[in-house]
Every structure is written in structure tokens, then in C-alpha cells.
Amino acid sequence: MIQVFNTLSRHKEPIRSQTEGVLTIYVCGVTPYDDAHIGHARPAVVWDAIKRHLQRRGYAVWHVQNFTDVDDRLIERSGDLGLSVGELAQRHMTSYLSYMQQLRIDPPHAYPRVTDNMAGIVDYIADLVAKGYAYERAGDVYFRVSSSPGYGKLSGRTGAEQTVSRLESRTAKDNVADFALWKAARPGEPFWESPWGVGRPGWHIECSAIAEDMLGEHIDLHGGGIDLVFPHHENEIAQTEAHLGRPVATIFVHNGLVTLGDVKMSKSLGNGVSLGELFERWDPVVIRTYLLSAHYRSPLAFEERRLGEWKTALERIQGLYRDVERFEPPSGLPHDPAIVDLLNFEAEFLSLMDDDFNTAKALAKVFEMMRSVRPLIDAGGALGHAVGFLTRKNLTQANEIFQFLPAGTPPTASSEGSSGLLQGLLAVREQARAEHAFRWADAIRDVFMAHGWKIEDTPAGPRLAPVEEHDATV
RNA sequence: GGCGACGUAGCCAAGAGGUAAGGCAGGGGUCUGCAAAACCCCUAUUCCCCGGUUCGAAUCCGGGCGUCGCCUCCA
């Protein structure tokens, strides 16, 4: 049974699907007015891990994440840069998608954009107006919060006074707690036609409209950063319940925020650590692992040296994998407790993930599994072969969530087209070492290094390892 | 002021009534021409503080202290 912490109930609950065997996931995506930072990578990586786990557990997953490609900030920023809103949004959506690919995110089935869903959004608002949940004032349309009886149930802000912003509202709303569904366009702003005149949608309505359009009338898992709980998700609940007369989602899943030092990483604070910049110094896989090394709900205080630590840790995993990937299934399993442990690994790993997607614990399990395996492999024989194969199998299984193994065929000496030449050179160096011609041996080592190969002299002979592309020192 | 989360080794971080996972760093060792890598072992009598409940508390309750997030665009 898969359990997940539901922000609505503040408890772990078993996952339930509306349609047998199918889970629908809607994650609130980014507003592409600036370069994505590591805080945006977290929900993407977390939901990627969640999705992969659910799929392994046999669910068919339908996963949608939106782009808010028109909003106040986008308009403001595009004016500053002398670009159109569309150009600015496209630029950052493109780089975002590239970052996601580098983080080995399995793409959502759709990345719907607000500007592609205007008709549905307008219809949605019109329905809320018709049903008496919303009202128009001078070309703006507002949602009447007092018409939503359960308002505040997600965030715990129930009293009307608690929902009032500290900032004074300068709009014509009937009540300060009411929020905009449609904003009249001011001169120079991008606009769309509507029954209330030209304008653009408010921030919250897009998710209700797009989610219903793409997922049907029910979302099994609805996600985003914990900073979206109020007002965004609270308002989304109000809109959808008013429109459909039923809850928007069974379970709300919110990831903790990435902070820089002690303060939240935020575009408006300008303290975001750009993913593009980070990728110049670190393998994206290191960042992915780092983001999965803590539980998804914990706050994460970003420090770059954490990446150095996980790079080191990851090299142990990848190094072991390089050494076991040659093992094929053995013809029989020796009777040994180590074999039993290795056979149990997958079931234990999966059950750790079942418990609220505890990637931190699952990752710990990988390191635990790795311990003591290498001496058995090095000892060889039937046991060594079986252990080697099962280790390979287990790392491959963990990799389905973590994606920490080299993609594609790992570059090893044997898989290189020039392997004959490389092996020949290695043999020459071994000969030189045997003859104590160390200057000659070291010169050969330097040649390998210059071509991107590190020679590691193991008890079983020399081994080639690729020199890291991202060799950052912090 | 209101709502919510958190405080575990040098650092990071799991654990949420049954006697402290894992990673990094550090120490010791094996291997080694050197270097690198790898491997093995060790490193919290104790979980912010003070009370309480319990046979038993890092875990539950009450009260402090401290930190962060939301209440305004935010992943």
C-alpha cells in the first residue's frame, strides 16, 4: 500500500485512484519570466521520482504540468527587456525544458500553456459568474470568497479576517479577501477577448480550467511547492468546488522549499541559484541526487558544498556499477546470507518508497546494500559471480528512481572503438611498471589523462575511468 | 498579529512509543613504485531546554528558547 502525506488532512493516507489502475497528477508549474533556479528543480525532480515509483507499482500515470505564460511579472519584465511577453516566456520555457532533460526528468504528458487555453478559461469564469460565485467590476472579475463555505480548509485560514492581506487593496473588490479571476487589460498589455472586455486571466483560474480540461473532473494527486498552499491552491479549491460542486483533488502533495542560507530562494528576492550556472560546475545528476537525499517535505538549505559531498558519494555508486555491469545471470545461486539480502533489496527499496516516497531512506538503503558486496565480488567464484550480478540488478532497480547511473552504455575501455589500442597502451605501461621504468609508465598515464581517461590500479589490474566533465572544487 | 513547519554527531540527514539509518568530513588499517581509486573497521549512552504521561519517550502532552515558510508574485 502506498501512503502519502495529504496537506488537506495533515496525515498520511493510502493513495486512492478515481479510475482503477490510473492516477492523474497535476503539478503547478513555473511562470517563465526568469531563468529557473534550483528551487524549481526540486518539485520537478520530486514528482519525477514519485511518478516513476507509481509506475513501477503498476499504475498508469497521467501527468500534467502547466506553464503560466502570461501574468503581471512577465508583462513587467518583458517591458524592461524590450521583448514581447511571448518571446520572454518562450525563452525561459525553452531553457526550463532543457534543464529538465538534463535532470533526467521523464517529461509530463503535457505542458499546457495558459495562452493556449484562453477559451476554456473564459468559459470557466463565465460559469462562475452565472452561478453567482463571481462578479464583475469595471472589466475585472472577482471570486466572492464568502460564497465558498469551505474556504480555508487547506491552509487553515478559516476566519475571514485571516484571509485578508496585510497590504491594502486598491481594487474595486467587494471584499479584500476576494481574488481576481480576470484582469482588464491596461494600455500596452497583451489581452484576450471576453464577455467583460479585453484582459487576461488571474493567476489561479488557469489551473482549475486546464486541469479540468486535461484531467477530467478529478485529480488524484495535486502538487506544487508548499508556498502555493495559500493563496493559490486554496483559491483553486474554491473555484473548482464552485464550478463542479465537488473537490478538485483527493490528495494535495507539497514539497518543501529550497532556501539559500536561511532565506527562501525566490525570484523576487533575486537570490535564486540558476540551474544553468550550476550545470556548468556540476553534473545535473549530482543535483538530482542531492534533491532526493532529503525527504521531499523537508526544507532544504542549499549550500554548494553539499553538491561536492554527493558527487563523492555518487562516484562510489557509479564506480561499483562499472565493476558489476559485466556480470550476466549466474546459472545457480549459492546458499549464502549475502544472497538472501541482495534478493530482498528490491522489495525493501519499494516499500520504503511506498511510505510517502521516502527517497532519503531508499538512498540510504542503496549504500547499505553496497556495503560488503565488493569483497565478495573480488573473491570471485560462484558466490562472487552471483553477488556481482545481483548488485548490478539492484543498482539498476534503484536507478529507475534515482537515475544516477551513467545514461546509455557507460564508456569503458572494452566498449571503445579504439579499445585495442587503449588495451595495448595499458599493457605497455604494465610492462614498464614491471621493469620499474616508472617515468615511462607515468608518461603513458599522462597520455591517458590528456585523452580523458583516468587509470586506476586495482588489485585486479589497471582500470580505465572517464575523467569527470564537471570537476568543480568548492 | 494569524496559520504552518522545524530544532538528531564536526556538517548534511532518516527515524515519529521499544532502546539512534545513510552520506560527507575525520581517525585507523588493507592494497600500492608513486599517485589516484577502491575496500574494511572506528567515530551520538543520546536526539534544543524544563516539566509531565508511560514498564519504556528523540518519538506523546504542557511550557519555554531558537530558526524557517505562508498571510503579497512565488516551486
Which residues, in sequence order, are CB contacts of A308 under 8 Å at separation 6+?
A: A472, A473, A474
Measure, in angstroms, how far nucleotide B48 C1' is from residue A357 CA. 28
Residue nearest to nucleotide B68 (CA to C1'): A262
Q: Indicate if the pLDDT at residue A161 is higher than 60.
A: no
Tell me the average pLDDT across A338-343: 92
Q: Give me the pLDDT at residue A128, please.
A: 96
* Residues A18 and A105 occupy one common structural domain: yes
Specify the nucleotide whose C1' lies closest to residue A289 (CA). B23
Q: Give me the pLDDT at residue A402, please.
A: 97
Specify the nucleotide whose C1' lies closest to residue A166 (CA). B71
In a domain, residue A151? The reply is no
C-beta atoms surrounding A90 within 10 Å? 16
Domain that holds residue A332: 305-402
Residue nearest to nucleotide B21 (CA to C1'): A364
Measure, in angstroms, how far nucleotide B64 C1' is from residue A11 CA. 27
Q: Indicate if the pLDDT at residue A470 is higher than 60.
A: no
In a domain, residue A145? The reply is no
Q: What percent of chain A has pLDDT over 70?
A: 91
Q: Indicate if the pLDDT at residue A262 is higher than 70.
A: no
Specify the nucleotide whose C1' lies closest to residue A152 (CA). B3
Residue nearest to nucleotide B14 (CA to C1'): A361
**In total, how many domains does chain A have?**
3
* Chain B: bases < 7 Å from a protein Cβ: 1-6, 12-15, 21-25, 31-41, 67-75
Specify the nucleotide whose C1' lies closest to residue A456 (CA). B37
Looking at A292, A316, A346, the residue that finishes a domain is: A292
Tell me the average pLDDT across A165-187: 77
Measure, in angstroms, how far nucleotide B23 C1' is from residue A51 CA. 25
Measure, in angstroms, how far nucleotide B49 C1' is from residue A29 CA. 42
* Residues A41 and A87 occupy one common structural domain: yes
User: CA separation (Å) from A277 to A95, A122, A280, A289?
Assistant: 12, 39, 5, 18
Task: Report pLDDT digits (tens) over A122-137.
Answer: 999 999 999 999 999 9
Q: Map grid coordinates 588489485 to a residue.
A: A459
Tell me the average pLDDT across A71-83: 92
Q: What percent of chain A has pLDDT over 90?
A: 66
Measure, in angstroms, how far nucleotide B6 C1' is from residue A300 CA. 11
Q: Give me the pLDDT at residue A385, please.
A: 92
* Residues A374 and A265 occupy one common structural domain: no
Which residues, in sequence order, are CB contacts of A446 under 8 Å at separation 6+?
A: none
Measure, in angstroms, how far nucleotide B12 C1' is from residue A309 CA. 9
Q: Indicate if the pLDDT at residue A171 is higher than 80.
A: no
Specify the nucleotide whose C1' lies closest to residue A293 (CA). B13
Top mean pLDDT of A153-167, A413-427, A442-456, A458-472 is at: A442-456
Specify the nucleotide whose C1' lies closest to residue A41 (CA). B75
* Residues A94 and A212 occupy one common structural domain: yes
Q: Give me the pLDDT at residue A165, please.
A: 44
Looking at A235, A266, A292, the residue that finishes a domain is: A292
Number of Cα atoms under 13 Å in the Cβ half of residue A433: 14
Tell me the average pLDDT across A433-456: 87
User: Residue A260 corresponds to which cell in the numbers above?
Assistant: 539559500
Q: Indicate if the pLDDT at residue A473 is higher than 50.
A: no
In a domain, residue A392? The reply is yes
- pLDDT band at A268, cuts 50/70/90? low
Residue nearest to nucleotide B71 (CA to C1'): A165
* Residues A394 and A418 occupy one common structural domain: no
What CATH number is attached to the domain comprising A323?
1.20.120
Q: Give me the pLDDT at residue A74, please.
A: 94
* Residues A283 and A320 occupy one common structural domain: no
Measure, in angstroms, how far nucleotide B35 C1' is from residue A405 CA. 27
Measure, in angstroms, how far nucleotide B49 C1' is from residue A225 CA. 33
Asked if A52 and A401 count as a contact pair (C-beta separation under 8 A), the reply is yes
A24 vs A374: which has the higher pLDDT = A24
Angle between helices A284-292 and A38-56 (to 10 degrees): 70
- pLDDT band at A412, cuts 50/70/90? very low
In a domain, residue A178? The reply is no
Measure, in angstroms, how far nucleotide B40 C1' is from residue A425 CA. 32
Asked if A90 and A209 count as a contact pair (C-beta separation under 8 A), the reply is no
Q: Give me the pLDDT at residue A419, please.
A: 64
ipTM over 0.90: yes
Asked if A135 and A174 count as a contact pair (C-beta separation under 8 A), the reply is yes
Looking at A292, A327, A346, the residue that finishes a domain is: A292
* Residues A216 and A261 occupy one common structural domain: yes
